[in-house]
Amino acid sequence: MINPASLLNLKRCFGVFRNNHPKAIQFAEAISDKVTEGSIVEINVQFPDGTRSKANIKVNRDDIELINELRRSLGK
């Protein structure tokens, strides 16, 4: 069972992230309904020293369930 205090803290942290990175949230909201099982999500990171790292996942049914549960939990 999820600790209600932890859930409230997660919601607060998400609000801070939303304020700090509105374009990222707008992008995520724009594509969220289009991400389906079989979609590939790729993350690229450029570190301050200029090096880069990237990874990707192929979205499966469990991932979709997690995304939907997070939406419900965060009031979206």
| pTM, full prediction | 0.68
Number of folded domains that form the chain: 1
Residue 42 pLDDT level (bands cut at 50, 70, 90): very high
pLDDT score at 71: 77
pLDDT in the model for residue 1: 73
pLDDT tens digits, one per residue of 44-55: 999 999 999 999
Q: Is 59 exposed, middle or buried (0-12, 13-18, 19+ CB in 10 A)?
A: middle
